[in-house]
């Protein structure tokens, strides 16, 4: 039987060192924020009313979280585009940010190339690759990611530069204190959830044990909608396991009706409901009532609450917890969290068709 308190487990299974990346998230956030605050932006980039972030997978999640954090602003409207094609409404009042960790993501390259023919403002966030070469040839600003990892492990560089750019352009202000508070919180939480903290006092290990052998269903709402997406994708990629996410209040209009069939399927599910104080009061009630429905249908579930005192901390505390949970679930499944060979296979097969 696998023991999450066995130090040898991490040495033997996590051969690529994903735990080092998770440990380093607080410092990564701090470095990304500080670098972005000194990044030069053209003066006319503040003359926008829309931001379109092009990206896929781990490169897109920062855009999702930025969208959540700026949802109360009157402008700009933040949109995340996970498509080959650029939205037709992109115009001179739009800032298009192409976020590709590798710089070679084909969907992002496709939509970014289309943006070159538009009068929109343009920016690239990447480590290098084709997209950086294109940007350099066109005189487009490039924010270079100084972090070596899988794209999903670079979430600090996925979110914090975007947040800093919004502050630099004058759409938000005073976020340095929120970032400092968030980084300190993540440092504390990571110490609480790291691998040498026993199951008996480790929230992340305990939840991973409950998810082991189950299909993970993640529920979120409001600013936590894309945190739920993050949990789902981390369980997919780190744990190599099935996972899905749903959002309130929409799931109360359909998902709760489907708890009955196929017969016996519910016992193979585990629902995790992510909560934070920022959610609408009526949505908070929906969480409670949905828990009652899950209990009536004998479906195992758990409420998981955020930590911290501001929206950025709410989001990132749950992101960090999800990363640790997916990591421990990988250990229980006996898989190295870092490699994603099936994605590499798919990319190679797609390359053959060009």
Residues annotated catalytic, as ranges:
237, 253, 347
Q: Which of 77, 75, 124, 69 is CA-nearest to residue 96? A: 124
Q: Residue 326's CB: how many other CB atoms inside 10 A?
A: 30
Q: Residue 28's CB: how many other CB atoms inside 10 A?
A: 23
Contact 198, 328 (CB under 8 A): no
Nearest-angstrom CA–CA distance, 133 and 315: 33
Buried b (16+ CB within 10 A) or exposed e, 123-150: bbbbbebbbbebbeeeebbbbebebebb
Nearest-angstrom CA–CA distance, 333 and 89: 45
Give 161's contacts (C-beta < 8 A, 6+ positions apart): 32, 33, 35, 36, 39, 62, 125, 143
122 pairs with which residues across the strands?
96
Helix (H, G, I), strand (E, B) or coil at 285: helix
The long-range contacts involving 68-72, CB below 8 angstroms and separated by at least 24 positions, are: 68/222, 68/223, 68/224, 68/225, 68/226, 68/227, 68/311, 68/315, 69/163, 69/223, 69/311, 69/312, 69/315, 70/166, 70/171, 70/172, 71/223
Sheet harboring 50-54: ordered strands across?
Answer: 77-81, 50-54, 94-100, 121-126, 142-144
């Amino acid at each position: 039987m696998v023991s999450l308190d066995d130090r040898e487990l991490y040495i033997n299974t996590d051969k690529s060192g994903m735990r080092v990346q998770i440990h380093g998230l607080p410092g990564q956030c701090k470095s990304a924020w500080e670098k972005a605050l000194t990044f030069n932006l053209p003066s006319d980039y503040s003359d926008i009313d829309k931001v379109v972030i092009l990206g896929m997978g781990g490169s897109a999640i920062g855009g999702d979280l930025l969208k959540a954090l700026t949802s109360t602003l009157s402008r700009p409207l933040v949109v995340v585009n996970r498509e080959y094609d650029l939205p037709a409404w992109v115009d001179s009042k739009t800032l298009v940010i192409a976020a590709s960790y590798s710089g070679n993501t084909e969907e992002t390259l496709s939509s970014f190339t289309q943006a070159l023919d538009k009068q929109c403002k343009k920016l690239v966030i990447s480590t290098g690759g084709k997209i950086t070469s294109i940007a350099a040839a066109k005189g487009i600003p490039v924010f270079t990611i100084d972090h070596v990892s899988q794209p999903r492990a670079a979430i600090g560089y996925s979110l914090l530069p975007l947040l800093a750019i919004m502050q630099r352009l004058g759409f938000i202000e005073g976020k340095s204190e929120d970032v400092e508070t968030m980084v300190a919180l993540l440092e504390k939480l990571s110490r609480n959830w790291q691998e040498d903290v026993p199951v008996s006092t480790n929230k992340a290990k305990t939840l991973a044990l409950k998810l082991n052998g189950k299909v993970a269903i993640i529920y979120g709402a409001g600013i936590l909608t894309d945190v739920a997406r993050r949990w789902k994708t981390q369980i997919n990629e780190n744990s190599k396991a099935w996972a899905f996410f749903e959002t309130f209040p929409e799931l109360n209009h359909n998902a709760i009706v489907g708890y009955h069939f196929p017969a016996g399927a519910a016992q193979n599910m585990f629902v995790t409901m992510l909560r934070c104080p920022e959610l609408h009061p009526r949505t908070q009630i929906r969480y409670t009532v949905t828990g009652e429905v899950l209990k009536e249908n004998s479906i195992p579930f758990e409420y998981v609450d955020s930590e911290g005192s501001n929206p950025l901390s709410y989001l990132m505390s749950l992101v960090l917890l999800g990363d640790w949970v997916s990591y421990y679930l990988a250990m229980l499944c006996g898989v190295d969290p870092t490699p994603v060979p099936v994605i590499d296979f798919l990319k190679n097969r797609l390359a053959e068709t060009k």
